[in-house]
């Protein structure tokens, strides 16, 4: 009897964790959480290190969101993003000075680049703002009492923001 119980417990320990990975479009588990670690390409420069401010989130078409990132004098930064294809093209990434709200960089003026590298000459707080173009029935659902559900596979997807930094190299000889 004890041998059978032990076998059942072992089978359950092996099989149960697989149920969480069997679903598609499971945004509640690891789907978006850690997306930047799983899907965004890190720099090929071996001196860059990933910053803890890197984040991932579930977005709907038409949504804008921002995160705060401190940047420090004497460091080079690489900020990039990756996204699920369902969100389409033309995603805008802006770097905004947190104190003045002025735009320091806008990828829509840079061919919608998904990465930007820069050297910091003054420490400050910035926002990395992501805007997804389009419209979603999700926004309509907030105002329309008759709309019951929104398809995740056509209107929602993950976006990861990857922040990397390194000590600024000495310039010249």
How does pLDDT run across 94-124, given as a tens digit for each residue?
999 999 999 999 999 999 999 999 999 999 9
How does pLDDT run across 47-63, given as a tens digit for each residue?
999 999 999 999 988 89
Per-residue pLDDT averaged across 131-159, rounded?
74
User: Is 89 domain-assigned?
Assistant: yes
User: Is 18 domain-assigned?
Assistant: no
User: Is 6 domain-assigned?
Assistant: no
User: Is 17 domain-assigned?
Assistant: no
Please give the tally of structural domains in the chain: 1
Phi-psi region of 134 (alpha: psi -120 to 50; beta: other; left: phi over 0): left
Select the more confidently predicted residue: 61 or 164: 164
Q: How far apart are CA 78 and CA 93, in angstroms?
A: 13
User: Is 71 domain-assigned?
Assistant: yes
User: What are the tokens at 7?
Assistant: 């076998």
Can you give the pLDDT at residue 165? 97
Q: Which domain holds residue 152?
A: 25-167
User: Is 76 domain-assigned?
Assistant: yes
User: Is 3 domain-assigned?
Assistant: no
User: Is 104 domain-assigned?
Assistant: yes
Q: How many residues does the chain have?
A: 173
User: What are the tokens at 73?
Assistant: 């004098």
The CATH number of whichever domain residue 145 belongs to comes to 2.60.120.680
Select the more confidently predicted residue: 31 or 101: 101
Highest mean pLDDT among 2-6, 31-35, 85-89: 85-89
Can you give the pLDDT at residue 120? 96
pLDDT category at 24 given cuts 50, 70, 90 is very low
Can you give the pLDDT at residue 15? 45
Can you give the pLDDT at residue 119? 96
Q: Which of 36, 75, 74, 70 is nearest to 56 (CA)?
A: 36
């Amino acid at each position: 009897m004890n041998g059978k119980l032990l076998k059942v417990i072992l089978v359950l320990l092996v099989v149960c964790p697989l149920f969480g990975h069997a679903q598609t479009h499971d945004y509640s588990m690891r789907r978006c959480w850690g997306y930047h670690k799983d899907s965004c390409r890190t720099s090929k420069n071996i001196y860059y290190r990933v910053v803890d401010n890197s984040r991932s989130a579930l977005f709907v078409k038409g949504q804008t969101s921002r995160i705060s990132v401190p940047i420090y004098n004497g460091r080079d930064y690489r900020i990039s993003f990756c996204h699920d294809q369902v969100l389409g093209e033309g995603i805008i990434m802006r770097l905004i000075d947190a104190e003045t709200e002025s735009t320091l960089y806008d990828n829509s003026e840079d061919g919608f680049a998904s990465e930007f590298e820069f050297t910091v000459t003054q420490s400050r707080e910035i926002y990395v703002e992501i805007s997804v173009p389009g419209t979603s029935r999700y926004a309509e659902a907030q105002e329309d009492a008759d709309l019951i559900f929104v398809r995740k596979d056509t209107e929602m997807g993950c976006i990861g923001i990857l922040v990397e930094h390194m000590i600024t190299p000495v310039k010249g000889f």
